[in-house]
Structure 1
C-alpha cells in the first residue's frame, strides 16, 4: 500500500515537472531540404515523442517567420501560421509522425539582411509549450532566378551588402568582375518586381568614370542611368534569349542612355533616390505582391511578437 502511495506521489511529481517542461513531450520538424523556392512546396515531417507522463496536446502549430535587418534595427513578421494536428493524447514512449507541406508565397529572398525560421510548437494546456526552431533559406522564383543567372553569366557578381529589404522591396547590387561590362560599369543596382506577365527590373547603372571628370560626374550623380524593363514569361522561358536581351539592353543604355523618364525607387540606405508618381501602379503592385502583413521593429511597444525569438543577426563587421 505504501509502495502504491509512493508511486502515486512520484507520478504527480512527474506531471508537475512536465508542466514546467521537464520530461514533457517533444517536437521536431524535419525538412527534406533546408532551402526552398518561392512558388514551390516545402516538404517534411513533424515528429512528436512522448515524455514521462501522458499529456494532452491541443494543437501542433508551425509559424513561418521572417526577420529583416535595416540599418541598426531588426524587424520581425509572422508570415503564416499552420495547424498540422489537433487534440492529441500523447503517452510515454509514443513516437508520432505527421506530414508537413507548405507552399512558399511571394517573399523577399534570403540574404544577409533577410532570414526565415520555421517555429514548431506543441500547444499544451496549463503547461509550458515545447518549441523547435529551424532556419530556412528562401530562393527566388524561377523567373527571377533566370535573370540572376543571366547576370552572373555576363560577369556580374553580387556584392556583399546586396539584398537589403526595406519592407516594400528588395534591392540587389552587382559588380562586373569580368565579361563585357568589366571596367565600364562600376555598379549595377536592380529591384525585381514579379508581375502577371513577367518580371520588371528597375535598374540603376553607375558608369565607371575616369580621371577628374569621372570623379566630378560621380559626385554629382551624372554617371547614373535609370531605366526599367519588362522581361516577359515567354522570354524568361528561354535562358539564352534572356541573357541576350539583358546584354543588348545594358549595351544600349551605356552607349545611348534613355532619358530618365522612369522613376527610380525610394531610398533603402544612405543613397538619395528621386521620387516620381508616374509609375506608382508598378511599384504598388510589387509591394502588394509580398505576403507580409506587419513588420514590427524591436522596441515597438505595440507589437504582439508572442514567444518568437530565434536569435540576433550577425554583425556587419
Structure 2
C-alpha cells in the first residue's frame, strides 16, 4: 500500500503510515511477514500505540460491505508509546504465525465466496484511534483441503458459500475460537434436500473433516488411501436412510 495520512483531524502535515506484506498469498500454518513504516509530519508526535491484527469478516458482519468492525483472528504485541519526530521515518517488522485453522480465501485455484482476511494497522494518537487501511491477502487451501473439496465436487456437491463464525463448533477439536463453514447443496444421487455444512479442523500432520452432524473423519496428509470412498461411505452411513 502507498503511504497514507492517518488521523485526518491532525490536519496538514500529519504523520503517514504504510504497511507492506512480504507476500500476498499464504497457506494455513504459514508465517505472514511484512513491514510497517511511519513517516513523521510537520511536528513531533507522540504515538500512544501501534498495533497490528489479522482480521476476517464474520457471518454477522456480512451485511456490511466495508471493513468497519471485523473480527480479530490473530493479534500482534502492540508497540508504544513513543515519539515520532518531525520528518523522521521509523520501521517495524511484523510477523504473524497463522493458525492451521486459518480461514481460506482461495481453494481449488479459485476465490472462496465469503472468504476475506486482511492485516489491519491501528494507530492511536492523542486518545484518538485510526484503524488505518486494510491490507488484504490470500489464504490458499492446504493440499489435503483441496483434495477433499475436489472429492465433494466430483460427487456432485454444488458449492454455495463459506461463512466465518465465532466460537466453537459442536464436536470440533478446535485450537481457535472461530471456524469457517463451507455450504454445499446435496446432489440428487443422495436423495436429500437442503445443504451440507462442511468444516475443516487442520493441524500440522492431519485434519478433521466435519460433514454436517456426522462424526468427524480424520485424514493424515501422507495417507495414500481412497479418500473419496471414505467420504462417500461416511455420508451414506450418516445421512441416507
TM-score category (smaller protein): 0.5 to 0.7
1:132 aligns with 2:111: no
1:48 aligns with 2:34: no
Aligned length: 209
Q: For residue 60 of structure 1, give the secondary structure of its aligned residue in structure 2.
A: strand
CA distance in 1 between counterparts of 2:43 and 2:22 reads: 31
CA distance in 1 between counterparts of 2:234 and 2:130 reads: 57
Partner residue in 2 for 1:109: 104
Higher helix share: 1
Q: Whose Rg is larger?
A: 1
**Residue from 57, 70, 80 that aligns with 2:47:** 57
Q: Contact between 2:122 and 2:129, CA under 8 Å: does it hold in 1?
A: no
- Deviation for aligned residue 1:109: 2.6
Q: Contact between 1:36 and 1:139, CA under 8 Å: does it hold in 2?
A: yes
Structure 1: tracts of 5 or more residues without a match: 1-16, 177-181, 205-225, 262-317
Q: For residue 47 of structure 1, give the secondary structure of its aligned residue in structure 2.
A: strand
Partner residue in 1 for 2:25: 35
Normalised TM-score (structure 2): 0.65
Question: What does 1:237-256 correspond to in 2, within 5 Å?
Answer: 237-238=222-223, 241=224, 244-250=225-231, 252=233
CA distance in 2 between counterparts of 1:228 and 1:80 reads: 29
Normalised TM-score (structure 1): 0.52
Question: What does 1:1-12 correspond to in 2, within 5 Å?
Answer: none
Q: Contact between 1:70 and 1:164, CA under 8 Å: does it hold in 2?
A: no
Q: Deviations over 1:185-216 (max 9, x none)?
A: 68865332346873222336xxxxxxxxxxxx
Could you say if the C-alpha distance between residues 76 and 127 of structure 1 is closer, same or farther in structure 2, counting changes exceeding 3 Å?
Answer: closer
Structure 2: tracts of 5 or more residues without a match: 1-6, 106-111, 170-178
Q: Contact between 1:25 and 1:130, CA under 8 Å: does it hold in 2?
A: no
1:190 aligns with 2:198: yes
Could you say if the C-alpha distance between residues 172 and 259 of structure 1 is closer, same or farther in structure 2, counting changes exceeding 3 Å?
Answer: closer
- Deviation for aligned residue 1:157: 7.4
